[in-house]
Amino acid sequence: MTNVHAALARLNLDKAVKVSSPIALTALASSYPPSAGAFREDLAQAVMKPMLDFLAQTGSYLMVNAYPFFAYSGSADLISLDYALFRPNAGVLDPGSGLKYLSLLDAQLDAVFTAVSKLGNYNAVHVVVSETGWPSKGDNKETGAAAVNAAAYNGNLVRRVLSGNAGTPRRPDADIDVYLFALFNENQKPGPTSERNYGVFYPNQQKVYDVEFVLGGNSAGGGSSKDNGGLGWQDNGGVGSGNAPSSTPGGVKATSTGEAWCVANAMVGQERLQAALDFACGPGGANCKAIQPGAACFEPNTMVAHASYAFNDYYQRKGRTIGTCDFAGAAYVVNQAPKMGKCELPSTAV
């Protein structure tokens, strides 16, 4: 890395071209809870510290390959699938930091941030998720490898990043770029079945599953999406653009056919959920009687539950068309029936 940088500097290209090398989460000796994150002893001082010094000195990026799928598949009895797929969940509390995590990827990234902090002050080093994704197919022992889960993971992740929620509980202001693996299935790749099925497209360019990387139309509820972080494609050694235009934020495709529901995105915070809820139950015309005190869906009395009910009613009334489950990034589409306590969200307008 030092030699390549020196060669670039001789050509006056070192400001435009940055040099880095991605690390896998296997570089960590511990990653759970995130506050206990630490690099392996054989890597910490010999590799990671000099590399971080180099990245800081040259203004380059720490590139991390993070795959929540592997953690979930290996511990599906302990890890919630909703937690792994950015869907509404109860969250996981880190007893060491007191921080609450609503997604497994956040926990993995904060374990890296913690490990880095133990080697020095490298807050100025920008982090890039150089690879992440979810397989659409796997062997019998590869729990969770399925097209519906791949669509949910990729769509919800892109929606989150391009809606201005790229930070983590430990680093809420982090501006993290994400590269999805992969654009195409690698049908001749050896190894487990999952290794050949990370693509959104087959090698013949046909779609593996239906996912559209747009929030869709004008955001219901007003406001504009903030393009914190960028989206690119990582495929067969090639890297796409890290800065996607703000007009192409991501999310699972809304469709007017088949079953689909609209639920609240807890990661945007109470203030944005309240604003979107006020719109849905007011100018948006959603029927919010069921979430009033004493009504059938008042319990659980939480912002996420009430917002999910209102967003879903709005979405169903609008015919589940593209852009009607958005609310400036405060909501997203799921294809499995969500339940909020004893309240079931309807798949049609009520």
Residues with catalytic function: 131, 186, 189, 195
H-helix or E-strand spanning residue 116:
helix 104-117
Cα–Cα dist 287/330, whole Å: 18
Write the Ramachandran bin of 11: left for phi over 0, alpha for psi from -120 to 50, otherwise beta: alpha
* DSSP secondary structure letters along 146-194: -HHHHHHHHHHHHHHHHTT----SSSTT---EEEES-SB--TT--SSGG
Token digits of residue 172:
């809420």
Which residue from 262, 233, 86, 68 is spatially nearest to 166, judged by alpha carbons? 86
Give CA–CA dist 282/182, Å, rounded. 41
DSSP assignment of 270-334 equals HHHHHHHHHHHHTTT----GGGSTTSTT--S--HHHHHHHHHHHHHHHTTT-TTSS-GGGTEEEE
